Structure 1
């Protein structure tokens, strides 16, 4: 029996004959790597199956990200943390939609649900004299993000911007670590893990969202964390498959029918997998932040199922489609959909425990004989969700900074969160006309090259069947494409932060190809001259991105600068 290697999973260099070596040793792995066809006994060893299903990390004998990889990610996280936390309390104002979410968070901190505010409540709130009323408030977003904002206010107070922005900055900084881990799991390169972390750390769009008390940075974090959990599950599931197949083969189970072991008809059950359960919880938390995470439930669910189907195919299982659906797909559904739904319901605990939150008593006021078997609290929550959905469907009010999804990748209309024109001379501005602004525009070099990288990834996914390109494109598609279904809805560019980490991962993948050019030498190594050119190109790119971050930083962090300096940073008329 032979098992031809998949070009997307391993990259055997030749078909040189094997030498004797102990199974699982670097020498044995090297022999397997060099050969395209293995003997039946060798093909079902754990080393051969693991190599076929997972591939190698950075090199033979490498065991993980290691101290060097974590150090690179840590440096990026420290830099990103400084950018996010320094002057976090400025401006001392409720910027853009903080006027809703910060006050809602304060309300939830007081009573567990959202209560109403009088007109013009912001000045009193900013001054530390909140005028929270006793009547419930109708809101259309779930509670998780607001609970997280409330956590920062509980720690540092509700009368200062640092308190109501702390959680966003902390989650944004943790996202830098997460994307580094995602890059490692995708590319098995410490350098690319550090590069992905650095690019996210210095991008202005992610930075602005991390310095503002809005919901979207929390949505982005939970979705990225779920993606990382599914990547870990991919390795764990394939490792389980390799181990169970190799153990069964070693025990001589199920040999042979028409030359094929019966074990390879459908393969083993792999059971409920902890990383996949964690992904379900994280997706539930994302849904509990914003409903736009719903598309990720579908896309991530299909993605992880396709990974399992391909794993069984690569392992040599004959009925891999049927086996993948029955033995993996059903358990994957249980681990993701019901778990996410239960987690989502749990996020409404404050609403359930209240007696007078919005629509809390709707079922009691509208009794039903048809649905009486459903608990009144769930019927009330369903009605609440129905009205909120209708609100979102009909949201088409004009806004000066609304932006069609067609313009997001090129940052055609970034959202202005804050703008003031202090009269000078003032601190930081020694001229008469000054500006203080927060514009959710990304680092142009990062965003525009990432948009181009998506085209390259599309070719790699279709032409080379590269699963990594497909996974990244799936994340972008889940966060981006659904917005095209609602062309009349009022949308904003900052919604793109939900899929921005996947843009960065796509750019990192292309950068990895530049750094490690195609193998052309006889020994399979990268020519030194071409590698040097790759290092130079990526080095220049990173240096230019850092310079642009320094250039745009004032309009990301509300620094007071001369008006002419602000105008110099408005590269497009649509940015104003």
Structure 2
């Protein structure tokens, strides 16, 4: 496989256009970062607003942790009244929350009733006034209090960063409240709150936060760049499978137009990392699958196996779904070695008959008979290193930041207990969710997941939503294309393309056995291979019906039109509610 000029043009063009769209309005690059974390109950401070004001609300940007505090109001800092209890819960992490007030006061007292939380910024607003924070004349802390981190004055030192309204651009949404928080905790030596998934995905999120700050852009950028990188990756995969730039460009283009690829890589969750490494590990296993250790040096055939195992290990350390794909890798390895075994047997029969006259064939047969068992044993022994030892090392090391923050530090017992806790959580989860759906419903998109609904500050009749689902054309044709790919490749014994459906079903079938509640985004790992199945069917149609190329153009055009039509509810763009209701909600179960 050699890249031509057209390949570089296609990759750069598709990737650049998609990257520009994916990075547009990804999230604000500024959020309040100075903080205050109280150490004990009773710790307090009070704020002077300069003069008595009728207060409408207080907006708070919360940091990590949970707890409670009390607000009291007065025109005299010696006497306080109108107490109000406020909770900082799990859902308040890195998000602007508004607490309504209905009191007139010059002074506001803040008293900790249950420590454990962190706050980054606060803002008070006058009733009937514009959405501009009231100026703070002074902050008086408790003279005897020693905060755990920061100072009370830090809650009022970044008022210029306070947004007019809370939305996805300036706050966390959906599971970002867990994963962005955990990423922050890993890099600040805090025992992580979320421990239901392996750490590496959150550590990758943390890289963005370290580079760009604790803000929406920072906690989303690395996942978005991984999503961008998926396009040249699927291009290379398709070029290797189908041998033509046309089909590689088709695969990358369709993947760029898939709704779920767009939404899942713009939110700070860990699915994107698992899927990216699933693609890589199958790409390298397919490279090994097409090699033959009789015809090539054994050490050369081990190189793609090493890379496949390495990315398998990195993937598992990001999310457990990658383990499902491990079964697919094992199947491909077994098929490859079985083919070598058949060649070994056939060579033995030919040598026994003594009728081989071609010297090259004679040498090949002798090589097969003499070396099969040795090379097979070396290959299998290498796989133990590549797919067991290396992944175990990577996986274990990924727990170092989180466990090091615990009282016991990083220990083998702590590592084992973490696995038990994760397994127990997923195996015993019995919660219900309005957007849950079963595995058989995913290809038909019966129940998309509504990630974000922005109701604050929107003009009447306007909505802002983010929903994860598939491109209807790609998904509804893709499942049948995948079934056709399975049937045709088996019938034609086109073994070099078995990877498409082996990868798809190795990720899909385990979900059929999972008893816990599941969601449509669990189908994301299957989408790249489903698209390769679509391209394979188009290639076959091209071969039998040359005029079918026009069908491809129409198919891509319709997929593009659907992406444009649904873009507002994929990106959070403000749009007419009537447009969403009348044009995009095709079924009653499509709630967004």
TM normalised by structure 2 equals 0.68
Query: Which of 186, 193, 203 is equivalent to 1:108?
Result: 186
Shift of 1:463: 1.5
Q: State the partner residue of 1:221.
A: 276
The SS at the match of 1:438 is strand
Q: Residue 478 of structure 2 contacts residue 534 of structure 2 at CA under 8 Å; is this kept in 1?
A: yes
Distance 1:157 1:278 in 2: 32
After TM superposition, the structure 1 = structure 2 runs for residues 4-15 of structure 1, keeping only pairs within 5 Å, are none
Query: Which of 290, 296, 302 is equivalent to 2:325?
Result: 296
Q: State the partner residue of 1:242.
A: 295
Q: Residue 284 of structure 2 contacts residue 304 of structure 2 at CA under 8 Å; is this kept in 1?
A: yes
Aligned-residue CA RMSD in angstroms?
2.2
Aligned pair in 2 of structure 1 residues 462, 158: CA closer, same or farther (>3 Å)? Answer: same
Q: Is residue 2:490 matched to residue 1:437?
A: no
The SS at the match of 2:453 is strand
Whichever of the two has the greater Rg, that structure is 2
Q: State the partner residue of 1:572.
A: 587
Q: Is residue 2:469 matched to residue 1:391?
A: no
After TM superposition, the structure 1 = structure 2 runs for residues 445-464 of structure 1, keeping only pairs within 5 Å, are 445-464=473-492
Query: Which of 427, 438, 454 is equivalent to 1:404?
Result: 438
Shift of 1:327: 4.8
Distance 1:323 1:302 in 2: 21
After TM superposition, the structure 1 = structure 2 runs for residues 390-539 of structure 1, keeping only pairs within 5 Å, are 390-421=424-455, 425=459, 432-487=460-515, 489-517=516-544, 530-531=545-546, 533-539=547-553
Q: Residue 142 of structure 1 contacts residue 288 of structure 1 at CA under 8 Å; is this kept in 2?
A: yes
Q: State the partner residue of 2:86.
A: none
Distance 2:326 2:203 in 1: 22
Q: Residue 226 of structure 1 contacts residue 282 of structure 1 at CA under 8 Å; is this kept in 2?
A: yes
**Structure 2 stretches lacking a partner, 5+ long:** 28-167, 349-367
Q: Is residue 2:412 matched to residue 1:378?
A: yes
Task: Give per-residue Cα distances to partners, 1:342-379, cap 9 Å, x unaligned.
Answer: 22112223245x1526xx46xxxxxxxxxxxxxx8112
Q: Residue 73 of structure 1 contacts residue 198 of structure 1 at CA under 8 Å; is this kept in 2?
A: no
Distance 2:501 2:182 in 1: 35
Q: State the partner residue of 2:338.
A: 309
Shift of 1:484: 1.3
Length, aligned pairs only? 428
After TM superposition, the structure 1 = structure 2 runs for residues 342-353 of structure 1, keeping only pairs within 5 Å, are 342-351=393-402
Q: State the partner residue of 1:153.
A: 209
Distance 2:25 2:496 in 1: 38
The SS at the match of 1:93 is coil
After TM superposition, the structure 1 = structure 2 runs for residues 144-223 of structure 1, keeping only pairs within 5 Å, are 144-159=200-215, 161-223=216-278
Q: Is residue 2:371 matched to residue 1:337?
A: no
Shift of 1:271: 7.0
**Structure 1 stretches lacking a partner, 5+ long:** 1-62, 116-136, 245-268, 362-375, 426-431, 518-529
Q: Residue 288 of structure 2 contacts residue 301 of structure 2 at CA under 8 Å; is this kept in 1?
A: no
Task: Give per-residue Cα distances to partners, 1:281-322, cap 9 Å, x unaligned.
Answer: 111111111112112122212213312432564685448886
Q: Residue 168 of structure 1 contacts residue 210 of structure 1 at CA under 8 Å; is this kept in 2?
A: yes
Query: Which of 195, 214, 222 is equivalent to 1:139?
Result: 195
Q: Residue 210 of structure 1 contacts residue 217 of structure 1 at CA under 8 Å; is this kept in 2?
A: yes
The SS at the match of 2:430 is coil
Shift of 1:223: 0.8
Q: Is residue 2:99 matched to residue 1:99?
A: no
Distance 1:312 1:192 in 2: 33
Distance 2:211 2:513 in 1: 40
Shift of 1:187: 1.4
Query: Higher strand fraction: Structure 1 or Structure 2?
Result: 2
Distance 1:424 1:397 in 2: 32
TM normalised by structure 1 equals 0.70
Aligned pair in 2 of structure 1 residues 409, 573: CA closer, same or farther (>3 Å)? Answer: same
Task: Give per-residue Cα distances to partners, 1:368-394, cap 9 Å, x unaligned.
Answer: xxxxxxxx8112211221122111101
Task: Give per-residue Cα distances to partners, 1:122-178, cap 9 Å, x unaligned.
Answer: xxxxxxxxxxxxxxx35111111101111111111113x211110111000001111
Distance 1:409 1:317 in 2: 45
Shift of 1:114: 4.1
Shift of 1:84: 1.1
Query: Which of 272, 275, 278 is equivalent to 2:304?
Result: 275
Distance 2:332 2:309 in 1: 14
Distance 1:278 1:482 in 2: 24
